[in-house]
Chains A and B, each alone.
Chain A
Amino acid sequence: MNKAVKKQDYTLLIIVLFLVGFGLVTLYSTSAWNGQVKFDDAAYYFKKQLFATILGVAAMYMISCMDYHIFIKLAIPGYIVSLALSGAVLLVGDSYNGSKRWLSLGPLSFQPAEFAKLAVILFLAYMISSQKKKHKNFFVMCMVMVLVLPIVALVGTNNLSTAIIILGIAVIMVFISNPRYLPFIWVGGGGIGFIGIFLSMESYRLERLAIWKNPEAYEKGYQTIQGLYAIGSGGLFGKGLGESIQKLGFVPEAQNDMIFSIICEELGLAGAAILIIVFMVLIWRFMVVATHAQDLFGALVAAGVMGHIAIQVMLNVAVVTNTIPNTGITLPFISYGGTSVLFLLAEMGLVLSVSRWQKS
């Protein structure tokens, strides 16, 4: 019944595989020292990431072969599961670096927040596309947004950055599906005001702003300033893969949020620029897939994934370059994080599947 164009988007696939491979290499380079020091195994982080990546690539392949319409039925149950998991993590989650973000399942641990992003994309795509003509009504759209708030609240209690990402994805999806512009400007203004109040409610949040303005003056600006040192010392072509000094304990947990600064140090401006361009191409492909999607659901899934990747890349790189205050957002495909890479690859599978069912 559906006209399937058999070819999936190979450009997208190649870019994803490149990013995954590049991510593994960079991850090994940045994490070897930390792994050696903490676990006496230079490949400690690498091995865990490799395992997750292999699982993720398998998931990507399977999903890309499926008809994505199956997920229409799974959208609501998936959303409910993600709510349950995010709730569960508050009660029985494991702490790491002072944040309760992990659920353990035997030897495996799992971050429900990463799953929540995927669940929200599917949920919103379904909700919006099933609203008949009503999606043109701004009020209805606001109601859709309200449906997302529970998960934002649950995730936001211990992982503010991921909550912001989820909210951002929701705003983008609603924005695209609604023909009006003005209300969004109004909402945007309101949002900024809200953030201002939210920040001033607790002093430590304002402190972040002060650190952002002058990181060298604060002890807690250490991570930021060390990241800047790494970026500045890389030069045009960098010190060479594996030659970073800053990853040797100066940039704490160099394999996580700050990995981009080590890429700048090792591969220089050139390497960093190429990586950003690759991300740009990736985002462009999402747009192309969305534009050519067979139906609204598919288009919104692709647009949601696009929003997800774009927000994370922008925020991560902006944080590392101290363009915005520090938030803990990882760089997709590159930063360390098994759950993250697994669900990112699942999302890629979804978009690839959408790309196979295109309108003629």
Chain B
Amino acid sequence: MATRRKTKKKRFTHKMQIKLLAIFAFVLLALAIINIRISYIAKTSGDKYTKQVLSQQQYDSRTIPFRRGEIRDRNGTVLAKSEKVYNLVLDCYAVNQKEDYIEPTVRALVSTMGLDESEVRSRLTSDETKDSQYQVLKRQVTIEEKQAYEDYVSTDAEKKLTDEQIKERRNITGIWFEENYIREYPMSTVASTVVGFSNNLNDGVSGLEVWYSDVLNGVNGREFGYLNEDSELQRTIIEPTNGNTLVMSIDTNIQQVVEKYIAQYEAEHMDGPSDENAGHGAKNVGVIVADCNTGEILAMATNKGYDLNDPFDLTGWYSDTEVDKMSEEDHSKALNERWANFTVSEAFEPGSTMKPITVSYALDIGAITDDESYMCDGGEQITDRYIKCDNVWGHGMESLSDVIMNSCNDAIMQISMKVGIGNFLQCQAEFGFGLKTGIDLPNENAGILYTKNSMHEVELATNAFGQGFTCSMIQELAAFSTVVNGGYYYQPHVVRQVLDPSGGVAKTIDPVVLRNPISQRSSSLLRDYLEKGVSEGTGRRARVPGYRVGGKTGTAEKLPRENGKYVVSFIGAVPINDPQVVCYVVIDEPNVEDQTFGGFPQIMFRQIMTEVLPYMNIYPTEEITDDLLSELGITQDEALAGGNAVQNETQETNEDGTPVEGAGSGDGVQGDPENPVAQQDNLPGPPEANENAPVDDGAEGVTPDDLQLNE
């Protein structure tokens, strides 16, 4: 306590405060000077030191590149991989340190690496490069070439070199190899639109390569050299982390079947009348094969496949002289068109393939019932417009099943009126129209729909049969799969697994049910209707001998309407009583005189399915009758082997030139909406601009197609 009392009396005197202040002032001054000194260092030596930092990094440390992951198909076939190559690097500074080094080093480079001697010498002597420690002399040196160099340099006793030679070898200096990877596509064109490609900087440019670029990429490693406190050079290595590998749901075997038949179609129709698409069967051909119970894409192809190892080659669509003449802008446009994936990135009016979706939803919400009948009198007056059915004489009384079978517009319009605008928009939303499906591929096009405010009766009526709004192939495929699989809308996807660099499973992409727009019962009814549509209706050319097929045809006229340009399509599921696989074929502007002929997609569907179904272990359940074979124009062998004989297809095409319906007129299937005659007779003049139509800058318009003006 005594101490305490004493200290209490002690005060921090004024003099002490002044001294404290003096110290504080000194500290302030010192710190201010140091601050100025830092600025001085940065200002006077900043550039020099920055360069120093970069150069010692280049010299003492190097990047060890990661290996970008592979892209494999579901069976493990590799479609994209990265191969190790080397860059040959010359340390000019080291070589120039001693006169004795120069000649042996130049000789070694010229004799083993086949380099131009004058080039090497100029690097060693020119002012710009003679002090450089990093001059890349040659890129993409293979491991064999590197080995050859190493053999040359080695002074192994077995080589029995003379002392002279050994001395020379030992004077070789400043040459080293920098690891690098280049991307290779062993299957070159197969699934090119899906896989896509990446540049040598590991940036994806198209397809999965760009969508999963980050997943495929790893992290670079580093080797550091630094001096420790005892000024010894030490090296440490941080190993690179290699990228992940993608396992696609694509099956290369199915993919190749699809690509084969697209190529076959192209070959058969390359001499067609179109100037624009000369040498091709159509402006676009797109095919998707998918597992309708998971959303997994099994095959996806267009007629614009390209060699992934040489993606800048436009051969096939442009001649060399055409390419030379192109402006840079046109060239990049042409390349982007080539790399685009039609099945995902382009939206078009789907046409009648929309009908089953409309009908299933109408049934599901109770707007219509299974036992109702519809009277088709060849057209329907919708407010101020008269919209004709394809069969202008009318299909007569039809059950719901007949409506799908005949692809009757009139009945669909009547159904759409019962559904109403609100419910129909809900239908489109639940089936994913106007929304991206979320498929793991770049540049997905969501299409353009009418909105609650812009849709009126006319738009409702035409949208109900697939005209006047646009969607992509993948949207239609996902929606149709929902109709047949029991009502589950699966998100389509192309990648099913991600493997880590050591091969373990890093991630499994399970099927995702996004929505459940219709019930099992509605789905089951639609399966019956769709089966009839193929066995007896408009899709009869899509019959696959031995299988129960259900499907729907589509024909949509493109904008501007008077040009006679069409998108024809077929979508079907097999076996329709228990759908396993869905296949959608779209031909955009077929290169034929009469583009409305809807047979080509059906034939392609049949050809693809005939080969794919046995491969997928889906076995025939039905008898193959001679009538069926003769109607399809194929032999029993072809039906079993996949109907791949080209000459028969040609014959069939000839036969198809005169509508098959003509031959089968006795069975009452008249006025096929896919029948060109009926439509062409009723082709309107230039369709008036629909003020309600959403504005679309693309070629695919949204003005109702089959809209007939009542004059």
CB-based contact A314/B30 at 8 Å: yes
Beta-carbon contact of A321 and B21 below 8 Å:
no
CA–CA, A299 and B34, complex, Å: 28
- In the complex, are the beta carbons of A321 and B34 less than 8 A apart? yes
Residues of A within 8 A of B136 (CB): none
Asked whether, in the complex, the Cβ of B23 is within 8 Å of the Cβ of A176, the reply is yes
Q: Name, among A69, A220, A269, the residue most crowded by chain B CB atoms within 10 Å (CB to CB).
A: A269
In this assembly, does B56 line the interface, its C-beta being within 8 Å of a C-beta of chain A?
yes
A295-311 residues with Cβ-Cβ distance < 8 A to B are 295-300, 303, 306-307, 310
CA distance in complex: A276, B31 (Å) = 7
- Knowing A229-B52, A250-B56, the reply to whether A172 touches B23 (Cβ < 8 A) is yes
B35 touches A245 (CB 8 A): no
Identity of the chain B residue whose Cβ is nearest the Cβ of A2 in the assembled complex: B8
**Bound form: Cα–Cα A113–B27 in Å:** 24
Instruction: List the B residue with the shortest CB-CB distance to A232.
Output: B49
Contacts A179-B15, A233-B50 hold; do A269 and B224 have CB atoms under 8 A apart?
no
The answer to whether A231 touches B8, judged by C-beta atoms less than 8 angstroms apart, is no
Assess whether A231 is in contact with B16, with CB atoms less than 8 Å apart. Answer: no
B50-62 interface code vs A (CB 8 A; 1 in, 0 out): 1011101100110
In the bound complex, what is the Cα–Cα distance between A172 and B17 (angstroms)?
Answer: 13
Provide the bound-state CA to CA distance between A321 and B40, in Å.
10
Least CB distance, A97 to chain B, in whole angstroms:
7
- What's the nearest-Cβ distance from chain B to residue A71, in Å? 11
Cα distance, A97 to B54, chains bound together (Å): 29
The listed residue with most B CB atoms (<10 A of its CB), out of A272, A300, A321, is: A321
Residues of B within 8 A of A291 (CB): 12, 17, 20
A249 to B232, CA, bound (A): 12
A124 in the interface, Cβ–Cβ < 8 Å? no
Q: Which residues of A contact B231 (CB under 8 A)?
A: 219-220, 222
Known contacts A246-B53, A248-B61, A283-B27; A97/B17 CB under 8 A: no
- Contact residues in A for B37 (Cβ distance below 8 Å): 321, 323
CB distance B31 to A248 under 8 Å?
Answer: no
* A contact residues around B238 at 8 Å (CB): 36-37
Residues of A within 8 A of B41 (CB): 228, 231-232, 321
Chain A proximity of B47: nearest CB distance (Å): 8
Among A225-262, those with CB < 8 Å from B are 228-236, 245-246, 248-250, 252
A130–B37 alpha-carbon span in the complex (Å)? 43
From residue A152, how far is it (CB to closest CB) to chain B in Å? 20
Complex CA–CA separation, A261 to B226 (angstroms): 17
**Known A36-B238, A130-B3, A248-B61: A279·B31 in contact at CB below 8 Å:** yes
* B35:A276 contact, CB within 8 angstroms: yes
Give the residue of A130, A222, A297, A310 whose beta carbon is less than 8 angstroms from that of B227.
Answer: A222
B232, closest chain A residue (CB): A219
Q: Which of B184-239 contact A (CB under 8 A)?
A: 222, 224-229, 231, 234, 236, 238
**CB pair A231 B49 closer than 8 Å:** yes
Q: Is the CB of A252 within 8 A of B226?
A: yes
Residue of A nearest to B222 (CB): A248
Contact A297-B10, Cβ < 8 Å, known A269-B39, A317-B31, A321-B37: yes
Q: Are B236 and A249 in contact (CB under 8 A)?
A: yes
> Are A290 and B11 in contact, with the CB atoms below 8 A?
no
- In the assembly, what is the distance between CA of A236 and CA of B23, in Å? 30
* A291 CB → nearest B CB, Å: 5
In the bound complex, CA of A279 to CA of B228 (Å): 31
B383 CB-CB contact with A under 8 Å: no
From residue B74, how far is it (CB to closest CB) to chain A in Å? 37
Indicate if A159 sits at the interface (CB-CB under 8 A). no
Contact of A295 among B12, B222, B236 (CB under 8 A): B12
Q: Within 8 Å of chain A (Cβ to Cβ): is B369?
A: no
Q: Of the candidates A220, A233, A283, A295, which one forms a contact with B49 in the assembled complex, judged by CB atoms under 8 Å apart?
A: A233
> Is B34's CB under 8 angstroms from A323's CB?
yes
Q: Do A250 and B3 form a contact, CB below 8 Å, given A175-B19, A295-B11, A314-B31?
A: no
Kindly provide the distance from the CB of A13 to the nearest chain B CB, expressed in whole angstroms: 20
Total chain B interface residues with beta-carbon distance under 8 A: 52
| B34/A317 in contact, CB under 8 A | yes
A317: nearest residue on chain B (CB-CB)?
Answer: B34
A250 CA to B250 CA in the complex, in Å?
A: 49
B6 within 8 Å of A (CB atoms): yes
User: What's the nearest-Cβ distance from chain A to residue B522, in Å?
Assistant: 57
Q: Are B10 and A176 in contact (CB under 8 A)?
A: no
Shortest A294–chain B CB gap in Å is 8
* B60 CB contacts on chain A under 8 angstroms: 250
Query: Contact string, B30-48, partner A, CB cutoff 8 A, digits 1/0?
Result: 1101110111011001101
Contact B224 A231 (CB under 8 A): no
Q: Does A264 reach chain B (CB closer than 8 Å)?
A: yes
Residue of B with least CB distance to A303: B20
Q: Tell me if B46 and A233 are in contact (CB < 8 A).
A: yes
Complex Cα spacing A272 to B30, Å: 15
Q: How far is the CA of A264 from the CA of B61 in the complex (A)?
A: 22
Asked whether B24 is an interface residue with its Cβ less than 8 Å from the other chain, the reply is: yes
Give the CA-CA distance A219 to B228 in the complex, in Å.
10
Inter-subunit contact B16/A299 (CB<8 Å): yes
B39, B52, B60, B238: most-surrounded residue (chain A CB, <10 A): B52
Q: Complex formed: what's the CA distance from A233 to B34 in Å?
A: 17
The residue that A72 contacts in the complex, of B4, B17, B23, B54, with Cβ under 8 A, is B4
Contact status A229-B24, CB under 8 Å: no
Specify which chain A residues have a CB less than 8 angstroms from the CB of B710 in the assembled complex. Answer: none
- Is residue A327 contacting chain B, with contact meaning CB distance below 8 A? no
| Min CB–CB distance A19 → chain B (angstroms) | 15
A97 and B229 alpha carbons, distance in the complex (Å) = 9
Bound CA–CA A69/B6 (angstroms):
12
**How far, in whole Å, are A296 and B6 apart by their CA atoms in the complex?**
10
| Interface status of A92 (Cβ within 8 A of chain B) | no
Q: How far is the CB of B237 from chain A (nearest CB, A)?
A: 9
Q: Pick the residue among A72, A223, A284 that contacts B24 (CB under 8 A).
A: A284
Q: Say yes or no: is B126 at the interface (Cβ < 8 Å to chain A).
A: no
Tell me the complex Cα distance, A36–B228, Å.
17
8 Å CB contact of A232 from B24, B48, B227: B48
Residue of A nearest to B48 (CB): A232
Question: Distance in Å from the Cβ of A249 to the closest Cβ of chain B?
Answer: 4
User: Residues of A contacting B13 with CB < 8 Å?
Assistant: 179
Q: Judge whether B38 and A297 touch: CB under 8 Å.
A: no
Verify if A15 is at the interface (C-beta below 8 Å from B).
Answer: no
Residues of B within 8 A of A279 (CB): 31
Is A144 an interface position by the 8 A CB rule?
no
A residues less than 8 Å from B24 (CB atoms): 283-284, 287, 306
- Bound form: Cα–Cα A272–B33 in Å: 13
Q: Does B162 contact A (CB under 8 A)?
A: no
From known contacts A287-B21, A296-B10, A313-B31, infer whether A269 and B38 are also in contact, taking CB-CB under 8 Å.
Answer: yes
Q: With A37-B238, A97-B229, A228-B49 in contact, is A234–B42 under 8 Å at CB? A: yes
Does any Cβ of B come within 8 Å of A161's Cβ? no
Asked if B28 is at the interface (CB within 8 A of a chain A CB), the reply is yes
A249 touches B224 (CB 8 A): yes
Q: How far is the CB of A303 from chain B (nearest CB, A)?
A: 6
Q: B137 to nearest A CB, angstroms? A: 26
Ranked nearest first, the 3 interchain pairs of A and B with the lowest CB-CB distance are A232-B49, A296-B10, A299-B12
A contact residues vs B (CB 8 Å cutoff): 36-37, 69, 72-73, 97, 129-130, 132, 172, 175-177, 179, 219-220, 222-223, 228-236, 245-246, 248-250, 252, 264, 269, 272-273, 276, 279-280, 283-284, 287, 290-291, 293, 295-300, 303, 306-307, 310, 313-314, 317-318, 321, 323
Give 16 A-B pairs besides A175-B23, A300-B12 with Cβ atoms closer than 8 angstroms.
Answer: A36-B238, A73-B3, A130-B7, A179-B13, A230-B49, A232-B52, A248-B61, A249-B224, A250-B53, A250-B57, A264-B42, A283-B24, A303-B23, A306-B23, A323-B33, A323-B34
Which positions in B face A, CB cutoff 8 Å?
Answer: 3-4, 6-8, 10-13, 15-17, 19-21, 23-24, 27-28, 30-31, 33-35, 37-39, 41-42, 45-46, 48-50, 52-54, 56-57, 60-61, 222, 224-229, 231, 234, 236, 238
10 A-B residue pairs with Cβ-Cβ distance under 8 Å, sorted by A, are: A72-B4, A229-B56, A231-B49, A233-B50, A250-B60, A252-B226, A252-B228, A264-B42, A273-B35, A321-B34
